[in-house]
Structure formats: structure tokens, C-alpha cells
Structure 1
Amino acid sequence: MAAENEAHSVFFISDGTGITAETLGNTLLTQFPEQRFVRATIPFVNSVDYARSVVRHIDSLSVTQPTPLVFSTVVSDEIRAELLKSKALVIDLLGEHTHKLEQTLHANASHSPGRAHGQGDLERYNTRMHAVEFAIEHDDGQSLRALDRADVILIAPSRCGKTPTTMYLALQHGVFVANYPLIHEDFLTQDLPAPLTGLTGKCFGLLSNPQRLSEIRSQRRPNSKYASIEQCRFELRNAEEMYLRYEIPFVNSANKSIEEMSSVILHSMSLKK
């Protein structure tokens, strides 16, 4: 019998990449912050036989663990039917809603897998790919070429979440994002870095809290000045003063997910992609 405080196994199952199942499922799980979850993604479940083997694996866990949770974005009726036979709690993220849409639109859904991340909207797909290329080139101030093409320039002290937020905005929203690190000399003068002169209106700042930043930096450089709580306090304090001086909007990344931060950035910068 499972212990009451034992972690729940969570499976994100899809006939495509699983990105949509992960995004929607994790959004629901954030409403239960006291619970512990062990997550796994099972993509490309595109046959009934494969679905049966997945169900057998999940059901085997339910013997000794708390009830597993399954978030599914499978569109095939036959495969969905197999998943619903599981002893897990299966949350079908598409099925019921697709049926309601069919009734309202008086049309049948295509039931074609993988369309959420395919090339159904070729223009949007190409925009996202170009945005990713731009993000990679302009990560951490590596390139200043065509910096004025950026929709937004994320600035922050090291390890405040610039790169993952940049990549999420590019891949999920097609936003052209550059990110630029604030270094020790910037904190001494509190002047915006010279390459960003004239681009203040595109800048958005990230912060953290000293304890959290120190923990993250310690994983990279333990027992260093870079990771010390004093250095983290110094950099964060001066970064915030810089943002206020130049009227740059900012958000604290310490207790926010990438999705939440991205939403704040899109809204603050009036970016709708």
C-alpha cells in the first residue's frame, strides 16, 4: 500500500511530441504545490499495441504507488479508448472538448495526430524557427549583429533565467529575443551597457532573490565569490536600481515559472505573436 506522502507518477502521453500534454498538464499540477510528482513524457503513442504496453507499465506502478496521473493529448479514438482502460487517473485533454467543438461547428474533427506542432500554419512555424535562430545567435550577448531587430532584449545578472526564457518566447511565441548579461562594471556605474544605447525601449529586466541566486550559482561555482550571498545581493540591488533609473520593466524570476515570466513579458512589452 502506498504511503500517504509518496510522490505520484505523472505521465504526459501524446501521439506527437508531448509538448502540449506537458504544458497543459503541468499547468494543472501547479495548483497542487504541496504534492510531489515524478514526471515522464511518452511521445509518439501512435498504435493500439503501443498504448496497451504503456497502460501495462502504468498499471504496474499503481500496485505499490499512489494512483498514477495521465495527461493525454492523443487524438485517435481507438488509442484513447485503450488509455482510458488504465487504473490511473486519465485526463483526456482533447477528447471531450473536441466532441463539443464538433457539435457546435457542425463539422467533424480531422483526428490527425501531431497537428499542434506541425506545419499547419506554415507562416507561424517559419516565424518561430527564425526566432529560435535569432535567440541562439544573440544568447548571452554573443552577437550584437542586427540587435535592433529584437522584439525584446532581456537583461539580468548571471543565472537569473535569461536563456530559458528567451528560448521559450522564441519557440512558443515566435518572439525575436536577445539576452544580454549585466557584469560587474555595469553594477559599478549603473549605466546601461553601451551596446544597448538607444534600445532602452526594447529592454526587459530579470531579477531573483539573493538566496535563490546564490543556490543556483553554487551549483556552477561552489564556494566562490560569484556565488556568495553578498555578491548576489550586490548585483541584484544594483540591477534593480538600473532598471528603475532607465524605466525598464522587470520581473522577479525566483518564484515564477518560465511560462509565467513569458506572459508578463508579452503583456508588458505589448507583444502579441
Structure 2
Amino acid sequence: MDNVRTTDAPDPAAAGLLVGKVALVTGAGRGIGAAAARLFAREGARVLLAARTRGQLEAVSEEIRAAGGTAEYAVCDLAVAADVRAAVERAVDLYGRLDVAFNNAALSVPPAPVDQVPERDLDELYTVNLKGTWLAVSAEVAAIRATAGTGAIVNNSSVGSLMGNPALPAYAAMKRAVNSLTESAAIAYGPEGIRVNAIAPGTTLTEMVRAWNDHSPGVVAQLNARTPLRRAADPDEIAQAAAWLLSERASYVTGTVLPVDGGMQA
């Protein structure tokens, strides 16, 4: 009967989904990551933002603090194991613990079928999107275990990982591997009370998607036509799903890859 929840404890989500939590967000300088950092702070978390671009991190952190939230940052390249560990350690050094993490950082490459994807693009996608997520999960589990004891991790995948993706085959393959990593970690760390889930966003109005549309004009309109809600998501809508999965309101959810796709997979 390990990790049995009781129902008489106060619900911290009544005041905010992440009140009292320390949260790490990777890829937090823009797009979904920046939206998540802002949201997590509004929901009561103390946030450590991590990304490669200092100027973006400074801007988002200052915005959060101006709104009354708590935020610091660490410049971090997910391709560098020492950077990943240092970002996690900075969160613990600043705030004394780590409770939750959103592994959002990723990169994309120009669309191309399998036989036309340059090997260097495949290697770069592996290093950041899969290996970087692996390194982050490993460091975060160790920090949660050593400080908060229990907690939650959400990895950002893609709806493109749930089906064949001839336009972005290498990107989709790495994201499908992230799904497998998520499920494996959920099984491994569930007995300790550490939940691990993923979200699979559909078309979202980020710089990455806009760049894809610039390269392949009309692709966003085509994707919207395949989406029952007939529109793309705002980054904040994706961040909302991550916040819920990290919160105590999702206390019995682990090992899940949650589509947040406007019904594209329906």
C-alpha cells in the first residue's frame, strides 16, 4: 500500500495549481516554454527557466517578476550534459528543492522525406530532442529524489509522433522515442512517487511552426483543415495541459502521452 493518497489533506491547487512548487522549464526563452514559465509562476511556482539564449531568458524572467512571480534562469544547451546538470543544480541552489519539471526544449529542421534528410540534421535532432530530454529526466529525477522526495515531470512530444510523418520523419521519430522514454521512466519511478508524462501538441503558433509555414506556404492552413477545432493552438493552451499534469490534480496520472491537438487524432 505504498504511496496511498489520503483525501483529508488540504488541496494546494485551490489557490493555484503549483503553489509551493519549484519548477524547472527548459526551452523557456520563447514559445511554449516561455508561456509555461509565465503560467507556472502565476499558478504559484518558483520557476527556473533554462534555454540557450540569455537575452530571451532575461526578458521572460523580468516579465514574470514584474507580474509578481518568482523566476531566475540558467543558460543551458541541452546537447551538453554538464549544462543540463548545472541548470537542475541551480534550481536546487536557489530554491532548496525541485518538485516539477517541464522538458520543452527542442529544435526542428526543414521538412524533407526520409531519403533527403541530411545526416547532420538527424544527428542534431537526436542530440537535442532525444538525448537532451534523456539527460534532463535523469538529472531531474535525482534532484526530486534528493530534495522534494516526490514530484512530477512532463516531456513535450508532438502529435506528429503518434502517426506517420513523411514531412518531418526525423523529428517525429525522435518525439516517438521521447514517448517511449516517458513511459519507461513512469514505470521506473512511479514506486517512488515520481510521475512522468508527456504532452503531444498539435499545430501551435510558435516560431518553429511559423518557420515551417514559411518553408512550405499553406501548411498551417492545411493542418487546421484536418483539425476539428479548425485552428492552431496558442502556446498558453499547451502550457495549461503541462501545468495540470504537473499539479496534484493529476495525482493518479503517469505514463501518459496526452494529445493536446484540437481533436486532430480523433
Q: TM-score normalised to the size of structure 1? A: 0.31
Which of the pair has more CA radius of gyration? 1
Q: TM-score normalised to the size of structure 2? A: 0.32
Of structures 1 and 2, the one scoring higher in RCO (CA 8 A, sep 6+) is: 2
